[in-house]
Every structure is written in structure tokens, then in C-alpha cells.
Amino acid sequence: MNRRQTVLAMAPDLPSRLFVGEVRDHLCAIAVVDPDLALSEFGSPAARAALAEAEVLLTGWGCPPIDEAALTAAPCVRAVVHAAGSIKNHVTPACWERGIVVSTAAEANALPVAEFTLAMILLAGKATHVIARRYRQQRTAPDLRSEFPNIGNYRRTVGIVGASRIGRRVIALLRLFDLDVVVSDPYLDQAQARELGVQLAELDDLLRASHIVSLHAPSLPSTRHLIDRRRLGLIRDGATLINTARGALLDHVALTDELVSGRINAILDVTEPAALPADSPLWTLPNVVLTPHMAGALGVELERMGSYAVDELARYVAGQPFRSPVTRADLDRIA
């Protein structure tokens, strides 16, 4: 096998968490690489010396932008394999202008996000977070039948905004349950919706119909504040809005007003700004759950992304096309 000269470009603590056991051995078998050395900058003499010989950049969170200056220092690079999800902040048009092929492990990162979303959908259907908080505060059991007569996950409507990689994973997981799934996506047609086993709807209609709305659209100029004050007003009373995508999809000023009113509920893994001000009312509202952007790969889940990326590298070494290629045109549609 013709091992390819490979350089890791990511946060220094990541290689030991991405490439573990047999995956690390596989990496070393197909690449000439130091699996313990990761570049987090491209400007130092040491970094430039490593880049000068690299054919493959194996990247991850913390990788600097692979721009014209970086590629000038890396004239032999022919492939970028990203051991993480979103690649927008790392790969630049200069890569495609030089004919570099690009891959992402976003598929491996999509699964934990979908799993997290599924859990939140089912918990929201049972009003778990609201009831648990009240139970803790009152220290006596509420009368669930009289106080929460409409909770449950039978024949409820779940609205999926965005049939993205993650959105489709969520749809697949939801097939196990007695839930009606409605999807809004400008790139999805009726035939594709039938294949997914969902009902296709305009976004406004989805918001009116759904008991739970889960956001899975990419963050683009066209989707900024996709759910604005008007659309928030379309959501039915008592519904739950879940965001594991990007904070910019929501108008947070309008969202805060709705949540303070108590009319709807929210589970927010991402917000805008990413860290809410300490005085934001969302921290203490009983109808809001805040989590610190934890839906994606964490802990042992990083190993899945590392394995996926090494498999992609193996395909490149064998002269095969990537399983998850990224083209320049994809940047206008992906997260």
C-alpha cells in the first residue's frame, strides 16, 4: 500500500480522543503520520515544514482556515478529510480552485444530534421537564391526569424544519413511534417526502399543525431568523420548539417574549448569542430547557467521527471516491 503523507490539523487534545485503538493502528497503516502531533496554526516554521510535505490534511475542530496562504505552504495537498461535522469554517474556495477533494465526517456527527433530538422530542411530549421542575419545587406529586390531561406521544404531530442530514436521521428514528411527522424543506419534493414517510408542508402550515417543532436547517443568510416573531406567533399554544441546529435560525428577542409569556415551551441546545447573558430570563423560566451545545459528538462519540474519517482516508488511498464528499456548491446548503 502506498501510504500517503498526512498531517493532522486540529486542536491538540483531539487526536488522542478521535483515533483510539484499532482506528489509530489503521491510520498509521495507511498514512505516514504522527498521530500525536496536531497543527493548530499554519504560520510557524515548524508548521510550514510539516505542511510542505503533506498530501492529505486530516482536520478537526480547531483547524485554521485552509486558505490561499496555507495552501501555498502546502503545495502537495490533494485531499482534506475532516474528522468533524461542519467544514465551513475550515475549507475555503481556494481548496476547490486547486482541485483538492474534500470529505467530512458530518454523517458520524449527525447520529448523536439525532439521538439527542429524539430524546428531547419524547420527553417534551410527556412534558417531562416542566413536570420535573414543578415536582422538585413543590416536593409533592401533581395530579397528572387533571393538571396535564393532554401529555403523551400518541398521534401527536412533530414538525421537522429541514430535511438535512440530521433532519433525515431524526425522521428515521421517529418511525418507531406513533407520531405524525411533517417536514418543511424548500429542496424536498413530494416524491422524496413519500420515500421518507412524511407529509410535506409549507413552513407556516407546519408551525400551525405541530405539537413539537424541531429545527434542522443550515445557518445561511437566507435562513437567519427563519423563525421570526410572525412565525413564532403561528406556533400553537403549549407546543415545544427544539433547536439543536444553529441559534441564528431564531429571532431570540421575539422568542424570549413568547417564552416569558408562557405560551410555548422551548428546548434550546444552541442560542444567539452562544452564551446567553447572565440576566437573560431564559435561564430561569420553567418552560425553557437550556443545554450547552451538547447534542453533537462528545466523549466516546468522538471515536465514531475518528473512525469515519480514517475510513474516508483509506478510500482516498485506495483510489476510491469519498463516501461523504463536499463540493464547493454544497457550501450554500450545508450547516
Catalytic residue among 26, 133, 225, 293: 293
CA angle 244, 288, 281 (to 5 degrees): 115
Which of 125, 144, 145 is CA-nearest to residue 134?
144
**Is 175 known to be catalytic?**
no
Dihedral sign, Cα of residue 31, residue 33, residue 38, residue 43: negative
Burial pattern 193-225, b for ≥16 Cβ within 10 A else e, equals: beebebbbbebeebbbbbbbbbbbbbbbeebeb
Catalytic residue among 17, 246, 252, 304: 246
Q: CB 183: neighbour CB atoms within 10 A?
A: 25
**How far is it, in rounded angstroms, from Cα 42 to Cα 71?**
10
**Is 315 known to be catalytic?**
no
Catalytic residue among 272, 304, 312, 315: 272
**Is 293 known to be catalytic?**
yes
**How far is it, in rounded angstroms, from Cα 68 to Cα 251?**
35
Catalytic residue set:
246, 272, 293
